[in-house]
């Protein structure tokens, strides 16, 4: 039982690191995209490509999940609106303030996720002091890197 | 001041969005969650893009479209799918801080492929991020 839990955690952490690497690669590509087209256009078209390819690759999963409770789709839809809204807000922020100001503000989003998680889904999200400290260090580190890249 | 408020709003909106997907993923697969959330997000962003930048949308060259395709694969296919899969397995509190370390990997790639230079700030930031990830990963409870 303990071994299964450990394996699941290792897989979960590996997925998180892989997601971070993918997002990191996308940041490098985004830099090239925004030199050619407005960020909103690049993000929208990128989302279309991502959605279409993922939709085709995972069509079997989607067919199975059609019977999932409607509330699950409502929450996922709200999450999509939040993700899209966040992107729009980020572009608005960048057009009104320099990146050195905007990047650190945006970097705190893991802490807001943890905060909202503790407010709304405390029953399914356990938080330890160690996790909170780790998240704070990541946020501080990302802010230092953002500032370091813009020195 | 307006820029700061928009940036804070982005951080808050992304934060609550991660909570909402955590709830959704209790009853659906990460793939379905990712596709559906992208679809709804597009309903918000794509009309805005068309409305504000019609000329840019209709005049994109094939080369730029190829770069946008790669960006879409990295961010919205791989990134979001892997992110949701991770949240589904280890929860929000463990997953999100690790995923949020992406600027570190962007930096590594930029140093490797774009000849970006490294300074003391960057070394300090990297060590701090790695320390944070280590604390989260070694939490056994």
pLDDT in tens, B28-77: 999 999 999 999 999 999 999 999 999 999 999 999 999 999 999 999 99
Alpha carbon distance A88, A22 (integer Å): 21
pTM value is 0.91
CB atoms < 10 A from the CB of B29, how many?
A: 20
Q: Give the one of A77, A94, A148 whose C-beta lies nearest to B36's C-beta.
A: A77
A149: confidence class by pLDDT, cuts 50, 70, 90: confident
Selected for mutation to probe chain B from A2, A44, A52 (highest B CB count within 10 Å) is A44
Are A10 and B85 a contacting pair, CB within 8 Å?
no
Quick: pLDDT tens for B111-122: 888 888 889 988
Number of H helices, E strands in chain B: 7, 0
Phi, psi angles (nearest 5°) of residue B29: -75, 155
CA atoms in the 13 A half-sphere facing the CB of B21: 37
Q: Give the one of B40, B103, B141 whose C-beta lies nearest to A80's C-beta.
A: B40
Quick: pLDDT tens for A1-52: 567 668 889 999 999 999 999 998 988 888 888 889 998 999 999 999 999 9
Domain locations in chain B?
Answer: 2-91, 101-141
Q: What is the DSSP string of B54-66?
A: HHHHHT--HHHHH
A151: confidence class by pLDDT, cuts 50, 70, 90: low
- Bigger pLDDT: A105 or B101? B101
Nearest to A19 by CA among B112, B88, B32, B43: B88
| pLDDT for the residue numbered A94 | 78
Cβ contact (<8 Å) for B31 and A127? no
Instruction: Search chain B and give the residue with CA nearest A95.
Output: B3
- CB contact set of B115 (below 8 Å; sequence gap of 6+): none
């Amino acid at each position: 039982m303990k071994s299964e839990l450990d394996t699941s955690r290792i897989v979960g952490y590996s997925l998180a690191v892989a997601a971070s690497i993918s997002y990191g690669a996308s940041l490098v590509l985004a830099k090239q995209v925004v030199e050619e087209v407005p960020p909103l256009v690049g993000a929208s078209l990128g989302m279309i490509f991502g959605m279409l390819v993922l939709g085709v690759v995972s069509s079997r999963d989607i067919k199975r999940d059609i019977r999932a409770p409607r509330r699950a789709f409502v929450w996922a839809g709200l999450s999509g609106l939040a993700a899209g809204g966040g992107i729009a807000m980020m572009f608005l922020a960048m057009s009104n303030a320099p990146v050195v100001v905007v990047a650190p503000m945006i970097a705190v989003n893991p802490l807001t996720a943890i905060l909202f998680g503790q407010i709304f889904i405390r029953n399914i999200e356990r938080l330890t002091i160690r996790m909170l400290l780790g998240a704070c260090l990541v946020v501080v580190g990302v802010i230092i890197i953002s500032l370091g890249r813009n020195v | 001041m307006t820029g700061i408020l928009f940036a804070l709003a982005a951080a808050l909106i992304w934060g609550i969005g991660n909570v909402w997907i955590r709830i959704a993923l209790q009853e659906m697969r990460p793939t379905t969650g990712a596709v559906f959330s992208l679809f709804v997000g597009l309903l918000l962003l794509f009309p805005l893009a068309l409305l504000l930048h019609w000329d840019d949308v209709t005049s994109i060259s094939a080369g730029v479209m190829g770069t946008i395709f790669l960006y879409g694969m990295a961010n919205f296919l791989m990134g979001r799918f892997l992110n949701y899969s991770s949240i589904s397995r280890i929860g929000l509190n463990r997953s999100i801080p690790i995923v949020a370390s992406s600027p570190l990997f962007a930096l590594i790639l930029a140093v490797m492929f774009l000849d970006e230079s490294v300074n003391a700030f960057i070394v300090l930031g990297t060590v701090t991020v790695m320390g944070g990830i280590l604390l989260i990963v070694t939490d056994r409870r």
